[in-house]
Amino acid sequence: MKRSRVNDILADGAAFFAKHGWSLPPFAGWSPDDMRSEKAAQIRDRRLGWDITDYGEGRFDEMGLFLFTLRNGDLSEMGQQGAMLYAEKLMISRQDQLSPMHRHVLKTEDIINRGGATLVLELFTCDDHGGIDRKADVHVRTDGVPVTLPAGGHLKLPVGASVTLTPTTWHAFWGEGGDCLIHEVSTVNDDLTDNIFAEPIGRFSNIEEDVAPTHLLVSDYNT
């Protein structure tokens, strides 16, 4: 993905958040130099901020996700008294834009539809080896209410609704009928180690530097 396209997606995404009444923290507007400075050390360490992924496939409109991580703890501190055990993200899933089938190793998350269109999730449970069980029913909770779906069933969340996904729940999702604003509240998030994809794809985009970045992505922090 070209950096110029990333810059355009960032601008569009920020406008979509604002349209739905979500104000971002001050560091969302920091320049690349600000984000490389010492004051941003913990922001970088906890990988807060802008994240645009096409999963390394170069087809963002078909398969991709826009994210902003607002807060996040540190996996190395899990179990310690006073540790920050949670994370929070805003995401945009565009109409028919697939976030591909995956699950997590440790993270339990609430996925909440905060605005726009209907959010659709395709769900499976794990087999005995951690892979996809294509026969077993899937059991989840939507706003505390138990729901059972067949393997590969589609759960449709209208605006305001949520689902709790545990590490044994395989899930893919997309916006139906328009773009969807998603809020994620979870245990500590680590995108470097905690994602298991059904297909051999990457978590981050490969960026072609055709222009200067307006803002750094979390994937830029180690470059």
Number of structural domains found in the chain: 1
Alpha-carbon separation of residue 60 from 55, 72, 95, 106 (angstroms): 8, 25, 12, 27
What digits encode the pLDDT tens for the residues 134-186? 999 999 999 999 999 999 999 999 999 999 999 999 999 999 999 999 999 99
Torsion of CA 92, 101, 185, 13, to 10 degrees: -10
Q: Domain containing 135: what range?
A: 3-220
List the structure tokens of 138. 């899937």
Residue 207 gets which letter from DSSP?
Answer: P
What digits encode the pLDDT tens for the residues 18-54? 999 999 999 999 999 999 999 999 999 999 999 999 9
Distance separating alpha carbons of residues 46 and 74, to the nearest angstrom: 7
pLDDT band per the 50, 70, 90 thresholds, residue 78: confident
Question: pTM, whole model, 2 decimals?
Answer: 0.96
Biggest alpha carbon distance in the chain? 51
Cβ 114 vs Cβ 159: under 8 Å: yes
Whichever domain contains 181, its CATH number is 2.60.120.10
